[in-house]
Structure 1
Amino acid sequence: MTDNATDNATGIAIVGLGCRFPGAGDIQAYWKLLLSGQRQFSAVPANRWNHDTFHEPGRRRGGHAAYTDQVAFLDGVERFAGLHYGLPPARVRAMDPQHRLMLDVTREALDDAGWGRGGFDRENTGVFVGISVSDYKDLMTARIRAVSLADGSIGGATDPRILEAFRERAEELSTIHSFTLPGSLLNMAPATVSRQFGLGGPSFAVDAACSSSLIALETAVAHLRQGTCRIAVVGGAYLSLTPDGLVGFSQLGALSATGVCRPFDKDADGFVLGEGAGSVVLRPLPDALADGDRVYAVIKGIGSANDGASPEPLAPTPEGQLRAMRRAYADARVTPSSVGFIEAHGTGTRAGDRAEAQALRRLRTEYPDDDPALCYLGSAKALIGHSLSAAGIAGLIKTALVVHHRTIVPQPDTTPHPDLGIEAAGLRFAPAARPWPSSGGPLRAAVSSFGFGGTNVHVVLTPPPAPLGHAAGTAEVRPRATHRSLAPNPAPGTAPNPTSC
């Protein structure tokens, strides 16, 4: 398997990035965070919920509590400049904040691509968003649940005094309005992006649990290769607005009791629940090169698979993961041993780390005529937690930046578990940021994302082909343009907003 100039025809260029992750309000901040290796874990903020009610350290099973209070949450999720998009306050209040985040990070990604008003083919731009749950829907419909509890519809008859208390509390909760239902539907995340920016290509949500955003990526790549759209916006979002996720993952025993996510480490004991949103702008590589776009990285190959007949629905299997990896390298027409950096799914759970490490060992040693090169391993979850449906896009953006800057970012304080065989497979963790080692061969990276239910995705990335307008990897990520800012599509009956993004 070798690189070939004809591969450019199937390569997909990443030309724009936008994100919100814990401790990183934009792409520049995310790259600085990755270079620093600083963890973003803290106690559940008081403005989310009263976590004292749901926190019982040491209790692993039963009840309504979580054994940890450590999370990696976004600040200011309630802040949103709705009028910039021509959205009235009532509509904004009914919008799931995940949808608002997708608007903002997509605007930034399109702006980062250098496309202003009329600067790209909106009619043939598709939108593909990985999104799985809406905690906001639960908040917006809480009044209905309270009334159902009050009249005995949920839980059956109970003490009249308790029923009356539910009725009184229900009167204080939000009422259902005309925008409430559409505001919480998952498909409205991509639909809102398409509508606000006037994008006429395919537009839909994808749910594959933790691998949602990379399945969205695979779908977008297929559309671009088939020519059913010329540009694609791919994203993922997740917010934890109720205690449900933290309590539920505690009951599974998946969360770190120590409050630190340590993928593949000897002290790993689970993940930390995170949040975030990210968006990337894609187009066929020949189009990007012809127009002189700045290309962060090229999607060389992508593959997906399911675990199939696994012992349990939530138990990861190395066979299913390996199947996705093999398909990605077959699509890329390169050998796995040539990859120098892998952004792993890396949750820090015992079962997850064991399955992924086994798959990686087999992947890197199953070509007998190949001598695997040194490969660095990482997982952004060690810094920003596990953002579920946004986890794949977080890993993709990280890996695209690693390729763009030709810099290996650190994996903090990692001592590989001796039973995983990490070092025997030629895999290493960087204790500090370092230039990408020069081996004389092509620079290649990969990213994995595996979801509950067994859906696995693996993506192979390379730098854009030379020559470019500047030496590869030497340019900083440019800040959002102010002279060619993207103008959203105004809502009916409103004037276009002339303010720069």
Structure 2
Amino acid sequence: MNDYEPIAIVGYGCLYPPLLTSPEELWDGVLKGTKGVRNVNNSVWDTDKYYSKYRSAEDKTYCKKTGYLSELPHLEKLIEQNGLNSDEVIKLNRTQKMILYTVLRALESANLNLESITPEGFVIGNMLGDESFANYVAQNRMKKFVDEHSKEITNDDNEIKHVKKSLSESLNVESSDFNVFPSNMLAGLKKLLKLHGISFTIDGACSGSLLAIDEAIKLIHQNKTSKSVVTGVLGNIGVTGNVAFSKIGALSDTEARPLDSQANGLIPGEGSGSIIIESLSNAINDGSHIYGVIRGSGVASDGKGQAIYAPSVDGQYTAMMKSLAAAKMTLNDIDYVEMHATGTPVGDKVELQSIMKIFNESGRKKPLKIGSMKHQIGHSFSAAGMANLFKVLQGFNHQNLPPTHGFGDFSAENKSITSNNLIVNSNEEDWHWDSEHGRTASINAFGFGGINANILVQEYDEGLFKSILSKSVSSTLTLPDSNYSIVGQGTWVDKGFQGNIPSEAPISKFTSFPFIKFKMPPKVVQKIDKSQQVGLLAADKALENAKEELNGIPREKIGLYVGGMLGLKTAFECDLRIRSEELRTAVQKSCTNVNSQKLEKINMQFKQKFESLSEDSLPGFMDNIVAGRISNSLDIRGVNAVIDAGKNSFDVAMNQAILSLQNNEYDAVVVGGVNSNDLPEYVDLYNELYSNDLVVENGACFFVIKRTVDLKDTDNEIFNISSDASIKTINNSVSLDADFLGAENAFKMLNKINEHAKRPEMATDFENSEAKSDFSIAFFDTENAIEASQMIKNEMFLDTQNESSKMAIFYTGLQDLEEKVEFLKKIQVGSNE
């Protein structure tokens, strides 16, 4: 890996339970032990409907505590200060409003205005989306059921109207259809804030915050953006996730007690945290206030050998060691670790083992202080890592090691593991300054499904960092001068698709999926979303296709990026089953002649349309497990992440993968696009919003990519990709007969490769006449793509006398391409024609 240029945190804003609306309020809450965790009220979900003390109770949870926000803070003042359209803000969903609040507060703390971040990167770490689309689906499906079964419910038409009115009231969807659509969480905010830089949502489950930071840092290190806004958020604490987590026994029925001998599970929570980052050298030159410096970041997957939801010492250890290596530090340089520590006995034990493995290897003699804040705010999943970061940054600010509440003592087993070398910091105490490394902390966020992230943060001190910067070389100065070679490919498209991509046998949950090969029992396959199945099948083909080319590459040096629109069909079907209680309540409230027996029959008629929840349901419907399943089954131990950038999801996944190869983090990457969401409400709303006239199809397409300079003589190069991925575009002459949503451009790329294989004489590369490629990849935002295509249309070529200048060429066919190339050649040589 190249030298890791330090990254400055120049702004931050947060929102955590019960109503901690600034980093200072969060710090005050940490010191006082303020509890954001309490019994849910009806604004969260109705315990009368969904709670049961019996763990085996179907479609119910045994945990009625949650770390939830008392309310959302008022946005009026921030809207006015930033000149935002208040009508557009009102249309945002709840999660978007949480993000907006923390982004605007981060800008305020950075003394920046919106215009200053318009061209910059924006990365959101999120899981479970927002509850608004689940409400939208439930409202639609339940009303349809009422219409279809009206005579079974009541003979009174007015009562049927009241049932549907009651459903509308209980499942109220406040935001606009645009912002309801899961994949538009980011798009709605980009539109409001007028952002044009590289932006995407990334799902790494509970590691989401730190995974987003790591990917945003790549954009800065490779000069794709000068600053990045990064948010970790969880705004969906609806009952379905709670019920699903209860089925794997992960929740506490009392309270979260991280690391304590009485720990018996996690408590769900919510929250949002946003930071603004830039290179340390730029921050110093800009005169920015620097709240902390990221010295290293590391991401790793557990790979093969564990259950999909079982934590792994190896994955956590690797992530932490990558951060230390990037910072050129050892554990001897670390004062404190803010742990992921959720309060699950197994999870806490594995994390202690991971830290102790590093402790023993480092030869450290001095005990290491550790802590967790989940006793207070709950486990906010994709926002948890950001809360950990803010706690540490405030510790720097106040020069105090933050206390951990709810801890009494380790269990006997954990005492044996730590051997008094790890000490939970239960009380506030001075954080002593070290002349060599200042105040330094390691921060963990480990994701369900085997994705682990860590960052090392150091307090900024001018004298200390003058020395560090004098020894640091920007990663952009040591980039390998290389193109990138596709050495493997694999697809899976359902049979019946009549388009221009080879189709496969349709997947049945029981008959077609090779559960023996992947060691997945039929009962597990029955519960997992089809996107996880097709993704695994296509990625397996791609890796098998590149088997020889990957020979000798350690699995830790292979990364996985999956592009796809978030929101899985199985997740919404699970929600519909659990939320059938809303239908029962609406009928009971509105109809006078419905006895309990008839009501139960109506309820079961609706409920039985969907499968019951079991311990396999949660990993079966989480978006990040599309990548996690591949990583787990095929033993990929670098990053595994799902990226959503709408229709450009595959493009952005490819962009991040290429950046990982550029900085030598990985020696090979597996990149693909997946779509298997044919939920009627999802497809209909997508078609309505985007005026789509193609049939939405299910499928997955993956590629294995290496740096061209790393190819062995025996390697089979299927296709070559030009190195400057930031200004290229997927060949617009490629068309499909179907819509694969966020995976569409993966299939376009496949078609282009197939076309190249059939007609190699068409190969052209406008940068290097000796290159093998006739294909260029672009990662334009929609706005930039429109500008570029208009520039081509108007023949407004800029800086064309400069031989080093590059541009995207949009074309609709070979003749159109040839004409534009000829025109470009003429103006490059100064022709007056």
List per-residue Cα deviations over 1:225-264 (Å, max 9, x = no partner). 1110001111111123531122222222111111x21111
Task: Please give the alpha-carbon distance, in whole angstroms, between the structure 2 residues aligned to 1:309 and 1:381.
Answer: 29
State which drifts further: 66-75 or 166-175.
Answer: 166-175
Task: Kindly provide the amino acid, as one letter, of the partner of residue 374 in structure 1.
Answer: P
Q: CA deviation at 1:417?
A: 2.0
Aligned residue number for residue 400 of structure 2: 407
Matched, 1:127 2:122: yes
Aligned residue among 421, 424, 435 for 1:429: 424
Aligned residue number for residue 95 of structure 1: 92
Matched, 1:14 2:17: no
Task: Please give the alpha-carbon distance, in whole angstroms, between the structure 2 residues aligned to 1:322 and 1:162.
Answer: 61
Task: Please give the alpha-carbon distance, in whole angstroms, between the structure 1 residues aligned to 2:319 and 2:273.
Answer: 23
Aligned residue number for residue 149 of structure 1: 145
Aligned residue number for residue 161 of structure 1: 153
State which drifts further: 32-41 or 338-347.
Answer: 32-41
Task: Please give the alpha-carbon distance, in whole angstroms, between the structure 2 residues aligned to 1:467 and 1:94.
Answer: 48
Report the RMSD for the aligned CA atoms in angstroms: 2.8
Q: CA 1:138–1:78 in structure 2 vs 1: closer, same or farther (change >3 Å)?
A: farther
Q: CA 1:261–1:171 in structure 2 vs 1: closer, same or farther (change >3 Å)?
A: same
Task: Kindly provide the amino acid, as one letter, of the partner of residue 216 in structure 2.
Answer: A
Task: Kindly provide the amino acid, as one letter, of the partner of residue 40 in structure 2.
Answer: V
Aligned residue number for residue 387 of structure 2: 394
Matched, 1:218 2:236: no
CA contact (8 A) 1:126 1:231 kept: yes
Task: Please give the alpha-carbon distance, in whole angstroms, between the structure 1 residues aligned to 2:125 and 2:242.
Answer: 20
Structure 1 residues 81-92: aligned runs within 5 Å? 81=76, 84=80, 86-87=84-85, 89=87, 91-92=88-89
Aligned residue among 260, 281, 297 for 2:292: 297
Aligned residue number for residue 191 of structure 2: 195
Aligned residue number for residue 478 of structure 1: none
Aligned residue among 105, 130, 135 for 2:102: 105
CA contact (8 A) 1:94 1:184 kept: no
Aligned residue number for residue 278 of structure 2: 283
List per-residue Cα deviations over 1:406-441 (Å, max 9, x = no partner). 210111242122312464262111221111134554
Aligned residue among 238, 242, 245 for 2:238: 242
Q: CA 1:167–1:144 in structure 2 vs 1: closer, same or farther (change >3 Å)?
A: farther
The 3-state SS of whatever aligns with 1:273 is coil
**Larger % of helix: which?**
2
Task: Kindly provide the amino acid, as one letter, of the partner of residue 338 in structure 2.
Answer: E
TM-score w.r.t. structure 2 length? Answer: 0.51
Task: Please give the alpha-carbon distance, in whole angstroms, between the structure 1 residues aligned to 2:463 and 2:427.
Answer: 30
Matched, 1:319 2:353: no
The 3-state SS of whatever aligns with 1:99 is helix
State which drifts further: 179-188 or 333-342.
Answer: 179-188
Task: Kindly provide the amino acid, as one letter, of the partner of residue 153 in structure 2.
Answer: R
Task: Please give the alpha-carbon distance, in whole angstroms, between the structure 2 residues aligned to 1:166 and 1:356.
Answer: 54
Question: Identity, % of aligned pairs?
Answer: 27
Q: CA 1:43–1:116 in structure 2 vs 1: closer, same or farther (change >3 Å)?
A: same
Task: Please give the alpha-carbon distance, in whole angstroms, between the structure 1 residues aligned to 2:136 and 2:325.
Answer: 46
Structure 1 residues 428-467: aligned runs within 5 Å? 428-438=423-433, 440-442=435-437, 443-467=439-463
The 3-state SS of whatever aligns with 1:63 is coil
Task: Kindly provide the amino acid, as one letter, of the partner of residue 444 in structure 1.
Answer: T
Aligned residue among 48, 56, 62 for 1:61: 56
The higher radius of gyration belongs to 2
Q: CA deviation at 1:83?
A: 6.2
State which drifts further: 62-71 or 343-352.
Answer: 62-71
Task: Please give the alpha-carbon distance, in whole angstroms, between the structure 2 residues aligned to 1:332 and 1:209.
Answer: 25
CA contact (8 A) 1:131 1:186 kept: no
List per-residue Cα deviations over 1:356-379 (Å, max 9, x = no partner). 111111011113xx3243321111
Corresponding pairs, count? 452
CA contact (8 A) 1:140 1:180 kept: no
List per-residue Cα deviations over 1:144-179 (Å, max 9, x = no partner). 121343356xxxx89812798777523441799997
The 3-state SS of whatever aligns with 1:396 is helix
CA contact (8 A) 1:143 1:171 kept: no
List per-residue Cα deviations over 1:432-479 (Å, max 9, x = no partner). 1111134554121010111111110011111123249xxxxxxxxxxx
Task: Please give the alpha-carbon distance, in whole angstroms, between the structure 1 residues aligned to 2:150 and 2:302.
Answer: 45
Aligned residue number for residue 419 of structure 1: 413
In structure 1, stretches of 5+ residues that fail to align are 1-5, 469-501
Q: CA 1:184–1:460 in structure 2 vs 1: closer, same or farther (change >3 Å)?
A: same
Aligned residue number for residue 788 of structure 2: none
Q: CA deviation at 1:194?
A: 3.2
Q: CA deviation at 1:320?
A: 1.0
TM-score w.r.t. structure 1 length? Answer: 0.83
Task: Kindly provide the amino acid, as one letter, of the partner of residue 395 in structure 2.
Answer: V
Matched, 1:382 2:375: yes
Task: Please give the alpha-carbon distance, in whole angstroms, between the structure 2 residues aligned to 1:433 and 1:407.
Answer: 7
Task: Please give the alpha-carbon distance, in whole angstroms, between the structure 1 residues aligned to 2:175 and 2:153.
Answer: 34
Task: Please give the alpha-carbon distance, in whole angstroms, between the structure 1 residues aligned to 2:108 and 2:60.
Answer: 43
Q: CA deviation at 1:283?
A: 0.7
Q: CA deviation at 1:77?
A: 3.1
Higher relative contact order (CA 8 A, sep 6+): 1
The 3-state SS of whatever aligns with 1:129 is strand
CA contact (8 A) 1:224 1:230 kept: yes
CA contact (8 A) 1:210 1:449 kept: yes
CA contact (8 A) 1:19 1:26 kept: yes
Aligned residue number for residue 477 of structure 1: none
Aligned residue number for residue 50 of structure 1: 46
In structure 2, stretches of 5+ residues that fail to align are 465-833
